[in-house]
A and B are shown apart, each in its own frame.
Chain A
Amino acid sequence: MTEYSVVGKPLPRVDGIAKLTGQAKYTTDLVLPNMVYAKLLRSPHPHAKIVNIDISKAEKLPGVEAVITGKDTWGIRYGFVDTPTYPAEERPLAEDKVRFVGEAVAAVAAVDPDIAEDALDLIEVEYDPLPAVFDPEEAMKDGAPQIHGEITRTTSCAWEDWGVARKSHSYTPVNNVAGRVLISYGDIEKGFAEADHVREDRFWSPATSHMAMEPHTIVANYDPFTGKLDVWLNHMAYELKRYWLHKTLGIPIQKIRVHQTYIGGAFGGKAVIFDFEVLAGFLSRKVGRPVKIELTREEVFSSCRNSIRFDTTVKTGVKKDGTIVAQQVKVIVDAGAYKGSAAVAMFLSHQFSESCYNRRNVRHEGVAVYTNKNFGFAKRGHGAPQNRFAVDSQIDMICEDLGLDPVEVVLKNLRKKGDVLPNGDKLESYGLPKCVRLAADAIDWKQKRGKQRDKNRGVGIGINGMFSGSGYWPFACAAIVRLNHDGTVTLMEGDCEFGQGADTTYSQIAAEEIGLPLEDVNLISGDSELCPMNYSNFLSGGMFVGGGAVWYAAHDLRQRILKVGSELLKVKMEDLDMKNRSVFIKAKPEKSLTFGEILRYNVQKHLGDPLIGVGYKKAVPEIEFYPSLSKGTGRFTDAYGLAAATAEVEVDRETGRVKVLKICIADDCGYEINPASIYGQMVSQAVMGMGDALLEEVIDEGGRVINPNLVDYEIPRAFDVPEIVVLNGCDYEPKGPFGAKEAGECARAAVIPAIANAIYDAVGVRVHRVPITPEKLLNALKAKGGRR
């Protein structure tokens, strides 16, 4: 086992001083000279024609710089999905009609936010309400209100821009269908026929909020003289935002700069382009002043992307011993008014699942349906939490039916290291079996499962697999590492720091590879002008792809330094090593040169040739343009992060209140570049998963979100946190930097079924809808009278 100096150590975060002293600037903190503030007017109707908008009174309010409506932004289109078959359909302001409560219909820019808000009250909108539909199964019926007519476009689609020469065409949804997936392999009917036991069960996961602490905010500043747009915004990888700002505003992409800011949490909810972001750029260009748009918490809850609503029916066939021989998953996604990433989530829920069990014969069918509600995007796991809740709950039920132990059945069905998945992904690292055993032992599974029912206590298990980045424009992350005159290095990499620790772990990677202490790495991150290229963090490709690029760049610099060192020390490069700011001969460590000496020599002998390392990494080097998300074919990712979670709960039978006593997470992230960071990610997911399992739901009534605040949407607080044990189940990933792969998204999806299954163990009832609130559980207890 290699002994490292910098990676593998819980070194303090490099963004610590800034954040702990209040100096760290988030977009919400930014004030530019001459800046104005914009607010959005939102539709109170779930479905209505816009008959007329009268902005005359608002425009006259002193302090108002501009008022715009859909007439001004007509035809601008964007979306997470923009393919030849499925054109982008989102727009910054509603045009002829509104499709959900909260859709923006007008925007006001004014000299202060209070005036902007007052101006909103003066805008008169005449709506003609249309029949609305809120249930996906209702929406698919003939005669249901059609939410979208023909979806056309006036510009090239993203794929065409990104190099796929396929003409795009318009698309007319039928029966409000926004997208479908159908992935199958093997022979599902034969599989069921061969099974000894088959069961079919249905589970529901609602929309939940990311509830990142910083509300979504943007500051946009358009310079009319240079045609340049500077933006500071909440994001998870700047390339996507830049591309869409370019596309929607017609500004050349090289003239759009995303500046570095710290970001107050993301969890998936800040990756895509938003209406208010396009509007900020649009307004800045219109008024000739910087524009700031800061959403309120209520707007974040009700009009930003929440997680995707899944209705999952799982049918699984097993042998007597619990071996899965067939699994059929049918998903109905309640997409909301625009497709968001609904179809992608349906695919992902299948693909992530592929890394967990060998199911032999599989059919995964999904339909995403438009409804008149706010629409969704990825939240930490993007389809996996919804899927694991269904699948892992059902495995638990199957074990109950057959008198088998869930941990044994899980272990029996796991994939094996070296397996090649049906789509071609190879599991070169696979720590899941180890994770399952660690998590089971840590919760005292054998001593506790089925043995604490007199105390209304129980234990449960869940698992998950998560990709480590995938292909998405521009398909590569790149980094530059420059050796400075004083022997330190400057690392330029584009990833943003939204709490996940990228600034620190990437610096550690560079430091280790070049033999420097961490403090010698000067970091320039998150700036699209100062950094080469970065796209991957919201695709779980932070460490593997972004960190991988850093490693390659650092490695390139290392080789250049070693080359000079080998000239000076007159040995071969492979006989040298680097540590502690110096290059030394491995066999004779006392023969060494400092970086300073290397630099001086380089000036003397090589006329001062700069020592700069460049590197890049793609998520899947040999990937074809895109895997087919609707058919599940094509390579998807080069490594899977894996996790197993167990939970112990105690139930108050008279009230249905669940107390989580303990959560154990065993995680395979390949290698822990910073163990304290990994620990933080796991604890975070334990608590977030607990929130999903027991507390959180964005509740809507007639399409209107009725709990868009922190009083009515509760998330766990300091006193709710149970004992959390984090275990290292790492299996070295040869294609990752120092063996590292995904860590931040996998475990959450394992925690949810772990808690649901623990509740079943405790009191013998199963709730098929998360969150398992006291009321739902009490009703289930009364209906079934408990087990046995």
Chain B
Amino acid sequence: MEIAKKILKVKVNGRPYELLIKPKTTLLQLLRNDFGLTGAKQACMDNSCGACTVIVDQMAVKACSVLALQVNGREVTTVEGLASRDGKLHPLQQAFLDHHAFQCGFCTPGKLMSAKAMLDEKPHPNEEEIRRDMEGNLCRCTGYTQYIDAIKAVAQKKEGSK
């Protein structure tokens, strides 16, 4: 059957876009295929791994399980939108670098976006809160410890700098 494409108006990493897409397009497919933003990754088929985590209107969501048309009129931030355009890393990216918080890096964009959403909402979480809020991001390489340390470092730094 011939399915009508629908118009999607969405802001991605601060810029507005308008495009025609098939309704079945997920937000992950939109970002990876239509925008070429391949930071968000697919590592599972059951909404479990979190490697596709991006931010929609300040909320961390798994892009594989959100229909692209549902972000109509909303703002999407991906890992490609974290650093400044002139090459300055976001504090979380810097902390991940300093703390060796990644190895293969496949889950890392998702982790960064989960962490950003968490710290934007709650700037000084304790370790237990960090671990709980990062439950949705699976990692096989790091054993989690170093990136928990990285997030802690950013959380504490925000506290320190008044």
Direct contact of A and B (CB under 8 A): yes
- Chain B interface residue count, Cβ-Cβ cutoff 8 angstroms: 52
Q: Is A10 part of the contact surface with B, judged by Cβ < 8 Å?
A: yes
27 A-B residue pairings within 8 Å (CB atoms): A19-B102, A20-B102, A21-B39, A21-B80, A22-B38, A24-B105, A25-B38, A26-B106, A28-B42, A29-B41, A263-B104, A264-B43, A265-B104, A297-B44, A297-B45, A500-B103, A676-B100, A677-B100, A680-B100, A683-B142, A683-B143, A685-B143, A688-B140, A717-B135, A717-B144, A718-B131, A719-B135
Minimal beta-carbon separation of A643 from chain B (angstroms): 15
Q: Is B134 part of the contact surface with A, judged by Cβ < 8 Å?
A: yes
Q: Hey, which chain B residues are within 8 Å of A277, CB to CB?
A: none
A210 to B107, CA, bound (A): 15
Could you tell me if A212 and B41 are in contact, using CB atoms closer than 8 angstroms? no
In chain B between 28 and 45, which residues have their CB closer than 8 angstroms to a CB of chain A?
A: 32, 36-45
Choose from B39, B103, B138 the contact partner of A717 (Cβ within 8 Å).
B138
Could you tell me if A20 and B45 are in contact, using CB atoms closer than 8 angstroms? no
Q: Is B89 part of the contact surface with A, judged by Cβ < 8 Å?
A: yes
A738 to B13, CA, bound (A): 45
* Main DSSP-derived SS at the B contact region: loop
Could you tell me if A212 and B97 are in contact, using CB atoms closer than 8 angstroms? no
Q: Hey, which chain A residues are within 8 Å of B36, CB to CB?
A: 31
A455 to B44, CA, bound (A): 39
Q: Mark A2-35, 1 if CB is under 8 A from B, else 0.
A: 0000000010110111111111111011010000
Q: Is A214 part of the contact surface with B, judged by Cβ < 8 Å?
A: yes
Q: Hey, which chain B residues are within 8 Å of A23, CB to CB?
A: 39, 80
Q: Is A684 part of the contact surface with B, judged by Cβ < 8 Å?
A: yes
Q: Mark B104-115, 1 if CB is under 8 A from A, else 0.
A: 111111001000
**Given A213-B41, A718-B132: 11 more A-B contacts, CB < 8 Å:** A18-B105, A19-B102, A20-B89, A20-B112, A28-B41, A498-B104, A677-B100, A686-B143, A710-B49, A716-B143, A724-B145
Minimal beta-carbon separation of B161 from chain A (angstroms): 22
B-binding residues in A (CB < 8 A): 10, 12-13, 15-26, 28-29, 31, 210-215, 262-267, 296-298, 498-501, 676-677, 679-680, 683-688, 709-711, 715-719, 721, 724
Q: Is B83 part of the contact surface with A, judged by Cβ < 8 Å?
A: yes
Q: Hey, which chain A residues are within 8 Å of B78, CB to CB?
A: 22
A498 to B93, CA, bound (A): 20
Q: Is B55 part of the contact surface with A, judged by Cβ < 8 Å?
A: no
A-binding residues in B (CB < 8 A): 32, 36-46, 48-49, 51, 78-80, 82-83, 89, 93, 96-100, 102-109, 112, 130-132, 134-135, 137-146, 148
Minimal beta-carbon separation of A260 from chain B (angstroms): 14
A23 to B39, CA, bound (A): 7
Q: Hey, which chain A residues are within 8 Å of B137, CB to CB?
A: 718
Could you tell me if A262 and B45 are in contact, using CB atoms closer than 8 angstroms? no
Could you tell me if B51 and A213 are in contact, using CB atoms closer than 8 angstroms? yes
Q: Hey, which chain B residues are within 8 Å of A680, CB to CB?
A: 100, 103, 141-143, 146
Could you tell me if A213 and B140 are in contact, using CB atoms closer than 8 angstroms? yes
Choose from B96, B132, B134, B140 the contact partner of A212 (Cβ within 8 Å).
B140
Q: Hey, which chain A residues are within 8 Å of B43, CB to CB?
A: 213-215, 264, 297
Q: Hey, which chain A residues are within 8 Å of B93, CB to CB?
A: 20-21
Q: Hey, which chain B residues are within 8 Å of A18, CB to CB?
A: 105
A687 to B32, CA, bound (A): 31
Nearest chain-A residue to B40 (Cβ)? A22
Choose from B80, B98, B132, B144 the contact partner of A22 (Cβ within 8 Å).
B80
A716 to B137, CA, bound (A): 11
Given contacts A265-B141, A718-B135, A719-B132, contact A19 B100 (CB under 8 A): no
Could you tell me if B45 and A679 are in contact, using CB atoms closer than 8 angstroms? no
Nearest chain-A residue to B100 (Cβ)? A676
A272 to B49, CA, bound (A): 25
Minimal beta-carbon separation of B27 from chain A (angstroms): 15
Q: Hey, which chain A residues are within 8 Å of B51, CB to CB?
A: 213
Given contacts A212-B140, A679-B146, A718-B137, contact A15 B105 (CB under 8 A): yes
A17 to B148, CA, bound (A): 19
Q: Hey, which chain A residues are within 8 Å of B48, CB to CB?
A: 709-711
Q: Hey, which chain A residues are within 8 Å of B112, CB to CB?
A: 20
Could you tell me if B45 and A709 are in contact, using CB atoms closer than 8 angstroms? yes
Minimal beta-carbon separation of B126 from chain A (angstroms): 13
Minimal beta-carbon separation of A144 from chain B (angstroms): 36
A473 to B146, CA, bound (A): 36
Minimal beta-carbon separation of A528 from chain B (angstroms): 21
A23 to B38, CA, bound (A): 8
Could you tell me if B96 and A20 are in contact, using CB atoms closer than 8 angstroms? yes
Nearest chain-B residue to A263 (Cβ)? B104
A214 to B135, CA, bound (A): 19
Choose from A19, A213, A263, A265 the contact partner of B49 (Cβ within 8 Å).
A213
Could you tell me if B49 and A16 are in contact, using CB atoms closer than 8 angstroms? no
Q: Hey, which chain B residues are within 8 Å of A298, CB to CB?
A: 45
Q: Hey, which chain A residues are within 8 Å of B141, CB to CB?
A: 213, 265, 499, 680, 684
Q: Hey, which chain B residues are within 8 Å of A12, CB to CB?
A: 97-98, 100
Could you tell me if A499 and B143 are in contact, using CB atoms closer than 8 angstroms? no
A210 to B36, CA, bound (A): 28
Minimal beta-carbon separation of B40 from chain A (angstroms): 8
Nearest chain-B residue to A30 (Cβ)? B38
A262 to B103, CA, bound (A): 11
A687 to B78, CA, bound (A): 29
Given contacts A21-B93, A710-B46, contact A721 B103 (CB under 8 A): no
Could you tell me if A715 and B108 are in contact, using CB atoms closer than 8 angstroms? no
Leading 5 A-B pairs by shortest Cβ distance: A22-B39, A499-B104, A264-B106, A19-B105, A499-B103
Given contacts A297-B44, A298-B45, contact A715 B100 (CB under 8 A): no
